[in-house]
Every structure is written in structure tokens, then in C-alpha cells.
Structure 1
Amino acid sequence: MLLREDRPGYELRDLQGASRAVAYLTLAASPYVLVTGLLTPHLTRLGAAGIVLVAAVMAAAGLTCWRRPEWLPRAFWFAVPVLSTALISVLNVGTHDASTGAQLFYLWPVLYAANFLGRRLIHLNLALVFIGDAVVVFRILGPSRGLADWVAMVLAMTMTAIVVSGLRARGDKLRAVLQEQANADALTGLANRRFFAASLRDAGAWAASTGGSLALVTVDLDHFKAINDTYGHTEGDRALQTVAAALRHAVGDAGVAARLGGDEFVMLLRTDRPTAIGVAETVRELVSAAAGLAGGPPRLSIGVAVLPGDATTVDELVTASDAALYQAKTSGRGRTATAPDRHNVDRVRPDQPASGPAALTSPSISRRSRG
């Protein structure tokens, strides 16, 4: 997962994956460093105590990443490829090992950065790997042999970073497409019920923490069943798409427009009552101006409720907006109604008959009964 507060190019992606990658490396490398370090003929460059200490630190870091990654500071995950590059360079110089096998350990920080870090950090890590490898090969192999090895390693690491980061980008695009499809209504392209529910929770948390105003506008097509029965479901779909286009235009980037199913639509706006009513009327005007529908533009009944004015929780907000919609229906349809008194909303019974504009019914009643 991309952490939202990160700047582009410096993001940390998939913390769980990054922690497992570090754990795998350090837990596997710890015994390798210990055994190869103690058996190398150049042990005196680091000393037995140094080798044991490095192996112990790596094992402890691996266990922490595996079991308790939350204990580590966030900066640690950005520093991991830098630390690993430095450690590989020190160990290679200390053991006087410039073989291809020893240099291939640089693949790990390259792969880590390409998988979990942003573009700028990938470039920075590659530069550090090139510098570290240059120190090793030129110091141990000399200028002539070292240059050939270093150029080959630079090319290999660069191509690896390009391929892996390219595959990651393709995966990100595919994931974004799948996410959009999972959150969108297939017919209208608006948000679906699942995305609306998540947006409502987020907006409720925002309103509770900031004291801001939250408006829910519920929209229902009048006599939608008659449109389907008279002109066919194709024309009914066109009517739904016309309403959806009006909602999308009216909301813009200021909120969420969603189709909950059938002819049920909602708009979630972080705004006050007058602005929400204005948005509702904009939708009505856009739909009434639509041309090309066999039965003409559909009429709309709209209910508007706001938090905190009409509700104290998002669940109450949904109930209040639904009650306002029902009031618009029972008052003659084709109009916008605001949430009635909360006392009346709370006391109404699901089976209570309508006896005027203030008479409400349970918001759980299906929209099909409203027409």
C-alpha cells in the first residue's frame, strides 16, 4: 500500500512486503556471514568478534522485521537499501572478495528499491550500489580488471532495476483498473454501493474530527417502472445514464456520486444545507434539459439531509435523507425536500400510513414501492 503522506518519488509501498523481504534477507544472510566470515583466510581484516557481531545484529534485525515490524521507525525502511549496500561493500572489502558471487549480493538492495520505493529513491540506490561496487572491485582487482567487472555489474543492475520497476508499474496500473471496476457501477460509471459505504465512513470520521458539515442527497426517479414497462429496459437504462451524468457533473470533485441500485442514487457532499440544495436543483435542471429520451426527461424526487443539523451519526444521516426523499414522494413527487424534524423521524412506525407531508415511513422500504 502506498502511504498517502509520501511525496511522489519518495513513497514507501507495501510495508508488509518490505518487512518480509528484509526478514528473509537478514535471516538467510546472518549464518552465511558468520560461516564464510570465520572460514575466510582474510579474517584478520574484520576480526572474529566483528564477524560474530555483524551476524548477530542481522539476525536480530531479521526477527524484528518478521515478528514486530511496527517497532522499527518508518525511516528504517527507506534506509534499508543504503545500509545493505554499505554492509555488502564492507564485507566484500573486509574479506577481500570481488568475485561475481560476492558482487551479486548487490542485487538485493536493487530489487528492494525497485519493488518498494519511489522512482527517485530507486535512482539514488542505484548510484550508491555503483559507488560501493566500484570501491570493492577497484580496490581488490585493480583498475584494468576492476573496470571491466564494474561496467558489467552496472549494466546488469541497471537493467534489473528497469525491468522490475517496469513490471511493478504495469501491476499498479492493472490493480488500479481492477480497483476502479470493483468500485464502479457497470451501467452508469458512478461509484457503487460498496464505495459509497466506505466514503460515508470516511466522511463521517472527517466530520467528527473537524466539526465540518456533511450533506447527503438522495435521488429517485419518479415512476421508473412505468418507463421500463412503456419504452423498454433500454430506454430505462438511458434514463438512468442521463441522471448519472447530471449527478457526476453537479458533484464534480467536491464529493461522491453513487448509484446504490435500481433507480436509487446518492450524492455525498462535505458542505452545508443551502449548497446541497443548490446541487440538487442543478441535477434537476440538467436532467430536465436532456434530449433524445423516448419518454422525455425523467422527473426526480430528491431528499436532502445534513450532519450535524439533521443527524449526529452517518447512520442517522442516511435515515434522515431517506425520510426527506419519502416526504418529497408523498408531497407530490418531482420536488426536493429537506429532512423533517428528527423527533418525527425517530417516532415513525414502518407501517404508519402517510397523512400529509410530515407523515414518513421507514427508510428500509424498497424504492420500488415509491415509484
Structure 2
Amino acid sequence: MTTVRLTDLRKSYDKLEILHGINLDIKQGEFVVFVGPSGCGKSTLLRTIAGLELSNSGTIEIDGVDVTNVDASLRGVAMVFQSYALYPHMTVADNMGFGLKMAGRDKAEIKRRVDEAARILQLEPLLERFPKQLSGGQRQRVAIGRAIVRNPKVFLFDEPLSNLDAELRVQMRIEIARLHSQMDATMIYVTHDQVEAMTLADKIVVLEGGHVRQFGAPLDLYDDPANQFVAGFIGSPKMNFLKARSEGNTATGLKVTVEGFGDQTLEIPGIKTAVAQGSELTLGIRPEHFLNGADAGEFSTDLPVAFVENLGESTFVYANLAGGTQVTAELRDNRLSNKVKSVTLGIPANKAFLFTPDEERLR
């Protein structure tokens, strides 16, 4: 069973600490995606697992074996990089088999492994071509094939699709998902694209400043974020954050007033934490959860519209609260004119989140 366990993993460059005690358990066959803003440590974490960077403390276990100080070539991992890094003077077959050739494997074994990887990746018609004769997506498949032939315990992907155009990215996401399903391999994938994370991952690790902010299934993170950072990072367009004020706890929740909605109060159900009246809070509401027009409900307000985007299947409305905060609302099956001046938006209490000033989720 190929598992990956990280225990209190830390990485520093001189006095700059990049990874602050990472603890993760990745199970056999899981597809785990690291996401986070630039500089959060996701690529450093991946390279440390690969052995391309050495940790300052903590342990890395693969298959129950401590590989923290083991050479990268002996860890049983294979890495696919952002750049294809193919040898331009070698054919596809030679590129895929080069690592095995350097390891001294016989020609028959190399051919067998290359042919099997080519079959899995549908590269068989391309084996005698050179990299300059391939599209970007085909080159990336060759780079993945080069990893497959090594028969690794763990596949590591470092933003492998970032050099591709939008259409190819979608195609390659499908290819990688199919590959994972077919091989049932343990895969760890770094991306800044949350669409890739949401569509590919069994589990997502959200990193901020070298800390794990949440680890779980994609929809769990979307529906039940642990804190304001995760709530704002997962989801596109991002969650709206509005200033709110506590009006006191009730038997079933917490009443708040919200910036731009006047003196009317909204009771957020399920909040059991005691919050003093007058405490400053943040209310989070996803764009698609706003109610609109006649369906806006009692807790609603009319807002001036700054901009409208009609995308066919949905319409995005950008409106301004009285305090200057801009909100984004996604209205499905409701196309608005680009010249509309105002919109009525309502907040359903059961879709709203509350956060403390230190960005922790109120429950």
C-alpha cells in the first residue's frame, strides 16, 4: 500500500521559514492536490517530498519507510514538471525510455515499458516523432509517459498544465483523471488553478504561508470551509465578504446586521458560540447563493449596478454596497440588460457564513 505521511515537516532558507510543520496522511491511490496563492510553499513541499529539496526537520514516509534523508532517485517517486524538458534530438520513444536506458535496463524491457505507457497515453502513433512535431498537449503526455515507465510508487506533478492554452488544459485534465482512474496510483499535484483542484482531486490541501489551512474533499472545502481564507480561496468567483455586527445569540443561532442592508437583522442558524452584542464580524456569501428580484426574501436590499456580464448559462452582476464594498452575484436563468441600473439582492440565512476578526469560522 503506497501511502505518504508527512510529520512536522519544516523547510527554511537561511532564516526564512517556508514550511511550518506540515502534517499530512495521503492514502493509497488518492489524488491529492496542493493549492494556494503564490509563495505559499506548495511547490517547495512537493520538491521536498521528491527529494529535490531537503527538509530542515520532520519526516517523510513513503510506503511506511522513512525516506527523509534518502536520495531522490531511490524514493520511488517520479515527477512531471511545468516545462516538458524533452530532448529535442530524441524521438518520443527515446525520450520516454531514456531514464531506463541510463539505469542500465535491457532494450527489451525498455521497449515493453515504453509501449505500455504509449498505449495508456494514446501515444502509439507518435513514438517515432520528435518533440518539435508535437503539440503542447502531446509533449506533456510524453513527459507523463516518461514518469510512467519508471513504475513509481508516487507520481508528483508540479503545475504540469500551466503552459497550455485553455482548451488543451481541459483536455489534459480529462487525460490525467483517466490516467489516475486507470492506474489507481497515488498522485500529488500542485496547481494555482482551483478548477483543476476541484475537478481532479480526491482531497485538496489548502496552503497559506507554509501552513495547511484545510485538508479534505473538494466539496467539503467548498461547502464547509474551516476559515475565511479557505472560504475565499475555494470558489470562482470568490465568496463575498461583508461587514457584519452581532446583535446577540438566540436559542437557535446568532442575529446580525449586515453592511448595506440597513437595520434589518438576519439570524444565522446553528451558531452556538457566544458572541457579545456589538462585536464586529464578517459575513460570507457565495455569488450563486444570492437571491434575486421577487425571490430575494425579507433580508434584501436594492443595490446600484456597476457592471453586468451575460455569459449565456448565467449572469454575473457586480453591485456596490453603500459602504463601497463591491459584491458579485451570479444569477442563473435570469439575463439582465447591460444597462440595468439597480438589482435587488437577498441573503438566505442558511447559505451564509460568519467569521471572527481573526478569520476563524463561527459555528
- Structure with more of its chain in strand, by fraction: 2
Under a length normalisation based on structure 2, what TM-score does the superposition of the two structures give? 0.27
Structure of higher CA gyration radius: 1
Under a length normalisation based on structure 1, what TM-score does the superposition of the two structures give? 0.27
- Structure with more of its chain in helix, by fraction: 1
Higher RCO (CA < 8 A, seq sep 6+): 2
